[in-house]
């Protein structure tokens, strides 16, 4: 009776251009029938708003997505609509909090607190029988009742989903990343969130076990970034020796391979918490000398690594790399030889991202 059209509200992140984001989501989904703006909030009408909301939440540049009911922004009608909706969704013993956001430019003759107070009072009296009470703050509430008031209408949020955040994918151009260990894939994810388009991924491996691990990282990256297609550069490598030095040697070989590929910008998964500073500096210096732009998203991250990994769904597996520069230089010829061989045997895969993506990578190699 009170509730009308179901829509999807898209809230851009603080540094995202809402007009540019609207163009991105218009191209990315066939479910959208129309797009309108309420200040910087993007209002999407389309088929199956639940699935549409899920799709749009996987877009970089989106802070959060809400499935909402579009209703009148008239005070009495909106107050009645909030009460009607809340009465059908609040469970026994819930602590609810009515929150109203009035967007800049909205033409209404009331303030947020007026509507929050009116709706909370009616709900408090109506829900006494089920012991549901208003919470003192949003943090203390077990159920948040969010309403966004715009110039054209008001929107009662039914479900709110966190977006990927960050900046619009590709807004800063393309970059080449690698997915050979947890730090490398985490670095690539951070770069993607910062607005870089990681359309190509290097996948170095030395045996079948490493191939499977790297393929899982590639699958995780595609899933987390919502990619539908992915170019994989499968690169077989062999380490000249085993032992503690092999960790830095492997990173050196992979970094040199990445510098030889065609991409202008290259991501290196280094952090001073794990890699010697002389090693990081040597790789960055060499990258500049060959005309590449080296990006090291995690270089100054230490204690926060575990938090970043947990948020990305990655099991952080770190071994501290400890060796002297002179020790690594003894194997310069062997490293150069392996880089040359690895590039020669690199296999370029262009794959659709689907339920069998992991196996498609392994089978294609």
| SS3 per-residue string spanning 91-159 | CCCCEEEEEEEECCCCCCCCCHHHHHHHHHHHHHHHCHHHCCEECCCCCCCCEEEEEEECCCCEEEEEE
- Spatial neighbors of 215 by CB under 8 A, at least 6 apart, are 203, 358, 361, 362
Radius of gyration of the chain from Cα atoms? 26
Q: What is the pTM of this model?
A: 0.85
The reported pLDDT for the residue numbered 107 is 87
- The DSSP symbol for 90 reads P
pLDDT for the residue numbered 206? 92
Q: Which two tokens stand for residue 121?
A: 């009072």
Query: What was the pLDDT predicted at 244?
Result: 76
Q: Which pLDDT score, from 0 to 100, does residue 4 have?
A: 64
**Backbone phi, psi, residue 266, to 5°:** -135, 135
Q: Where are the domains of the chain?
A: 6-165, 174-364
pLDDT at 319: 77
Burial of residue 18 (CB within 10 Å: 0-12, 13-18, 19+) is: middle
Q: Which residues of the chain have pLDDT under 70?
A: 1-4
CA 236 to chain centre: 29
The angle subtended at Cα 263 by Cα 258 and Cα 269, nearest 5°, is: 45
Structure tokens belonging to residue 141: 């509430």
Class of domain 6-165: alpha beta
Q: What is the dihedral of CA 270, 205, 347, 364, to 10 degrees?
A: -130
Class of domain 174-364 (CATH, top level): alpha beta
At which residue do the structure tokens 């009911």 appear? 69
What 3-state DSSP class applies to 5? coil
Residue 328, SS3? helix
CA distance 283 to 291: 13
Whole-number Å distance between alpha carbons of 355 and 87: 40
């Amino acid at each position: 009776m009170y509730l009308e059209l179901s829509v999807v509200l898209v809230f851009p992140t603080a540094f995202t251009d809402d007009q540019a984001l609207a163009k991105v989501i218009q191209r990315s989904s066939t479910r959208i029938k129309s797009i309108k703006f309420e200040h910087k909030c993007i209002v999407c009408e389309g088929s199956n708003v639940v699935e549409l909301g899920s799709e749009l939440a996987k877009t970089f540049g989106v802070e959060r997505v809400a499935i909402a009911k579009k209703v009148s922004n008239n005070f009495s009608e909106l107050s009645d609509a909030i009460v009607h909706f809340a009465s059908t969704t609040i469970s026994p013993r819930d602590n609810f909090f009515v929150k109203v956001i009035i967007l800049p430019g909205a033409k209404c003759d009331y303030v947020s607190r007026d509507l929050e107070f009116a709706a909370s009072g009616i709900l408090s009296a109506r829900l006494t029988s089920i012991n549901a009470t208003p919470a003192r703050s949003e943090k203390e509430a077990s159920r948040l009742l969010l309403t966004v008031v715009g110039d054209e209408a008001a929107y009662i949020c039914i479900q709110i989903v966190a977006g990927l955040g960050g900046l619009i994918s590709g807004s800063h151009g393309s970059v080449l990343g690698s997915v050979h260990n947890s730090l490398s894939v985490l670095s690539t994810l951070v770069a993607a969130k910062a607005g870089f388009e990681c359309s190509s991924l290097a996948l170095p491996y030395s045996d079948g076990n490493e191939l499977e691990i790297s393929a899982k990282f590639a699958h995780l990256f595609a899933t987390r970034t919502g990619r539908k297609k992915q170019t994989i550069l499968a690169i077989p490598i062999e380490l000249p020796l085993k032992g503690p030095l092999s960790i830095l040697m492997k990173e050196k070989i992979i970094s040199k391979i990445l510098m030889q590929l065609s991409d202008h910008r290259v991501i290196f998964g280094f952090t001073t918490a794990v890699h010697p500073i002389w090693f990081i500096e040597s790789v960055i210096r060499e990258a500049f000398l060959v005309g590449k732009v080296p990006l090291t998203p995690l270089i100054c991250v230490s204690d926060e690594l575990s938090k970043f990994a947990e948020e990305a769904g990655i099991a952080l597996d770190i071994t501290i790399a400890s060796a002297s520069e002179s020790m690594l230089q003894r194997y310069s010829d062997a490293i150069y030889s392996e880089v040359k061989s690895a590039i020669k045997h690199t296999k370029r895969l262009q794959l659709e991202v689907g339920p069998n993506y992991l196996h498609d990578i392994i089978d294609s190699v």
